[in-house]
Structure 1
């Protein structure tokens, strides 16, 4: 918008003519001297354009800048709110980590459906599902027992086979800073390093019920509801040890060994004193 030579009236300095202006300032020649002002802020309250057409165009510019200013302020306020939430979450996370005591059953076994058998490994995360009842019905389940010492075991059973033939597909430690109690979206992400996927041949040799046992009904091998179950830290260590023995490739075996050692360290398990698997399948 070209305002050079346009006539204006200032409340204090009277009538003048615009001699210079840019996006942030304007210079006006009055009878006695030139004055500089902030553009377009000076218009509206202190300064008036004589030309009505130009005045309307200027009002549109001023309104646009005002809208941009409000939008920017809103963004800053939203950023402040977000930062406060992040701070509160970090403080809660630090508190939970500081006060965390190892739970003897802080591992998770996850039931993968057909689609999840692919996505669990391509995305390296699983979804804990939603609550079916109560005040929080429809909201994601919070895997409250999971901490950085926890691993997620991925399993599946073919529709044509019995539950006792449930296979282990892979396993991963949860993300380094993951705390289930403050997980809002229900997704459980994998550690950046400690993650293993089994081949179909390896999976066929590693049956879940060899390790898992329902203490109340040790003879039963049933899984009727729910996407996941918690199970003992020792059982997960047994599984990791057997995965290591299955790996024939030296690099994969080394990766499995590092995983096993890390897991034992995080869960204060002595590898030398680890008992043999004694799950439901071993009691038939």
Structure 2
């Protein structure tokens, strides 16, 4: 809209003529001096334009800008509400952390099928499965023992091989903010740093049943059903300790050592007091 030379009246400065304007400011020549104002905010309460058709157009522009201003304020208020909600969640999370009691079996070993062998290591998350019966049938399992001190062990057996040959593929700490009892989708995501994938050669040297034993049937190596099971914190520490020894690349070995140290700290484990592995394979 061209406003140059349009006549106006200002409450304080009287009659004037518009000499220049852009999308954010307007300059008016009054009897003794030129004045700049914010455009189009100055119109309406402080400044009146004489041309009726231009005044009508300006009114529409002002109304549009006012609507945009209100929408912007509404968005800002929604953002404030979102930030308050996030803060409330953080406070609730901190409360849960303070109340959390360390469970002696808060580690998870996961059975990877052929497809999951790749996806679990590329996406660094596993799905805890669905509830099979009852009122909650079909809903995701909640891995209620999993907390910030928990790790997920990824395992698999090659087709046609016996259960005793189950290999360890990799391991990761759970995401820094993960709390199993609050999980809604059943997925268990990995920590941003503490995650390790083993090579085929390393995996062949790390058999799950060298660490794990069912105390009710110590000589049996059977999985039966389910995608996962919980196991002892100390067993996971033994596995992480041996992964450190397996790694030959300096950077990978350093990460494995940091992972092990972090895990021991989170689970109140003293390395010097860690027993040797004594799983079912060790008892044959």
| TM-score, length-scaled by structure 1 | 0.76
Name the residue aligned to 1:203: 203
1:275 maps to 2:280:
no
Query: 1:89: Cα distance to partner?
Result: 1.8
What are the ranges of 5 or more consecutive residues in structure 2 without an aligned counterpart? none
1:125–1:190 CA contact under 8 A, matched in 2: no
C-alpha distance in 2 between matches for 1:109 and 1:14: 82
C-alpha distance in 2 between matches for 1:36 and 1:173: 62
Q: How does 1:1-284 map to 2 (within 5 A)?
A: 1-7=1-7, 17-26=17-26, 38-43=38-43, 47=48, 50-52=51-53, 54-55=54-55, 57-129=57-129, 141-183=141-183, 186-192=187-193, 194-216=194-216, 218=218, 219=220, 221-226=222-227, 228-249=228-249, 252-283=252-283
Query: 1:94: Cα distance to partner?
Result: 1.8
SS in 1 for 2:147: coil
Decide whether aligned partners of structure 1 residues 60 and 283 sit closer, same or farther in structure 2, where only a CA change above 3 A counts. farther
Deviation per CA, 1:140-167: give whole Å up to 9, x if none: 5543323332222111223433443321
C-alpha distance in 2 between matches for 1:88 and 1:154: 34
Decide whether aligned partners of structure 1 residues 229 and 37 sit closer, same or farther in structure 2, where only a CA change above 3 A counts. same
| TM-score, length-scaled by structure 2 | 0.76
Decide whether aligned partners of structure 1 residues 113 and 104 sit closer, same or farther in structure 2, where only a CA change above 3 A counts. same
Deviation per CA, 1:90-120: give whole Å up to 9, x if none: 1122222223321101112223333432343
1:107–1:230 CA contact under 8 A, matched in 2: yes
Decide whether aligned partners of structure 1 residues 189 and 71 sit closer, same or farther in structure 2, where only a CA change above 3 A counts. farther
C-alpha distance in 2 between matches for 1:57 and 1:115: 64
C-alpha distance in 2 between matches for 1:145 and 1:283: 28
Query: 1:77: Cα distance to partner?
Result: 1.8
Query: 1:234: Cα distance to partner?
Result: 1.5
C-alpha distance in 1 between matches for 2:240 and 2:126: 19
RMSD, matched Cα: 3.8
SS in 2 for 1:143: coil
SS in 2 for 1:146: coil
Deviation per CA, 1:52-96: give whole Å up to 9, x if none: 2x4554345334423432332232122112211221121122222
Deviation per CA, 1:206-241: give whole Å up to 9, x if none: 222332234455535124223x32211011122223
